Amino acid sequence: MNGISILMYHQVGNFPTVKLHRASYTNLVHFRRQMAFLKRWGANVLTMTEAVAALRGERPIPPRAVVLTFDDGYRSFIDTAVPVLQEYGFPAIVYVLASKAGDDAGWYAVDGQPTPPLMTWDEVRRLPALGMEVGSHGLFHTALKGVDAPTLRAELADSKRIIEDQLGRAVPHFCYPFGSVDQAAIDACAAAGYSSAVTCQRGAAYPALDLLALPRKSIRQGHDIPMLLWKLYTKNGLKGAPLHRSAA
C-alpha cells in the first residue's frame, strides 16, 4: 500500500551552520536541490487537502506521494521558498500563528538565537493565489500537551476562526506546535472542526492512521539528496505508538 511522505520544513534561506534546532533551518541551496530532485524523481506532490482525500479513500494514493509542509509562517516562506516551489510547480501548506502575524518568532530567544520575522496578514492573504494552502499553528506557538481545556479551545478553535476571518475561506488543517500533543489536544482539534492535523512523530501517513495525528519526516539543515532519499524510502514505519482521538 502506498503511503504519503509529509515533509516538514521551517525556515528557508541562507544560514550559518547551527548546532541547535537544525530542523528549523534549510539553506536555500539545499532546498532548491531537494525540489529539483523531487521533480526528477517523479514525486506526486499533493496539497494537504488532496492528501486527506486520498487517506480517506476518496481518491487513490499515487506512488511517490509527498506533501510539503512549512511550520510557523516565516516571512522567508513567501520571500524565498514560494518562488522555488512555483518554479517546480509544487503546492505546499504553511501553518501560521493567528496572534503572531507580523511579529517575530520569539521562542527562538530562549536559546539565544535570532528571532526571525513572521509573515503579515497581507502576505498570508496572497498565498492562496500563489498555489499555497494556509493552516493553523495555534495562537501563540503554545505546546498543547497537558494544557487545560480553555487553552486548548483558544489555541485550536479561536485560531481557526481568526485565520478564516482574515482569509475569507475555510482553514481545515492544523499543526501542533513543537509536535506537543496528547489525546486531549487531538480531541480538541476534532471539536474545533479540523479535517487534518500534523505532528512531529516520524513516519509516512497511511489510511489506518488518525487524520488528526499524521506523522511527518523532518528535513534538517545540511540534508543532502541521499539523506532525503533515505527518509523517503526507509522512514515509513511509525516511530512510537500511533496517536488518536478518544473516539477513534
Please write the tens of the pLDDT for every residue from 5-61.
999 999 998 876 766 666 678 999 999 999 999 999 999 999 999 999 999 999 999
**Chain-centre distance of CA 232, in angstroms?**
16
Backbone phi and psi for residue 233, each to the nearest 5 degrees, phi listed first: -95, -30
pLDDT at 2 > cutoff 80: yes
Backbone phi and psi for residue 132, each to the nearest 5 degrees, phi listed first: -110, 145
Length of the chain: 248
Query: Tell me: the pLDDT tens digits for 125-134?
Result: 999 999 999 9
The C-alpha atoms of residue 5 and residue 64 are separated, in whole angstroms, by 8
pLDDT score at 6: 98
Instruction: Return the CATH architecture of domain 4-234.
Output: Alpha-Beta Barrel (3.20)
74: CB partners within 8 A, 6+ apart: 10, 11, 105, 116, 117, 118, 119
Of all residues in the chain, the percent with pLDDT exceeding 70 is 94
pLDDT score at 156: 98
Q: How confident is the model at residue 223 (pLDDT cuts 50, 70, 90)?
A: confident
DSSP the chain: ---EEEEEE-EEE-----SS-GGGEEEHHHHHHHHHHHHHHT-EEE-HHHHHHHHTTSSPPPTTEEEEEEEETBHHIIIIIHHHHHHHT--EEEEE-TTTTTSB-GGGGGGT----BB--HHHHHHTGGGTEEEEE--SS----TT--HHHHHIIIIIHHHHHHHHHTS---EEE-GGG---HHHHHHHHHHT-SEEEEEEES-B-TTS-TTSEEEEE--TT--HHHHHHHHHHTTS-SSSPP--TT-
Q: How far is CA 3 from CA 38, 99, 202, 205, 226, in A?
A: 16, 34, 13, 5, 20
The amino acid sitting at 209 is L
Q: How confident is the model at residue 240 (pLDDT cuts 50, 70, 90)?
A: confident
The C-alpha atoms of residue 16 and residue 194 are separated, in whole angstroms, by 37
Query: Tell me: the pLDDT tens digits for 54-111?
Result: 999 999 999 999 999 999 999 999 999 999 999 999 999 999 999 999 999 887 766 6
Cell numbers of 145, please? Answer: 500537551
pLDDT score at 235: 82
pLDDT score at 16: 63
Q: What is the value of pTM for the model shown?
A: 0.95
Cell numbers of 194, please? Answer: 479540523
Average pLDDT of every residue of the chain: 93
Mean pLDDT of 122-144: 98
Mean pLDDT of 210-217: 98
pLDDT score at 20: 61
Tell how strand 173-175 and strand 44-46 pair up.
unpaired
pLDDT at 248 > cutoff 60: no
Q: Which of 25-29, 109-113, 120-124, 240-244 has the lowest mean pLDDT?
A: 109-113
Strand partners, 134: 94
pLDDT at 180 > cutoff 60: yes
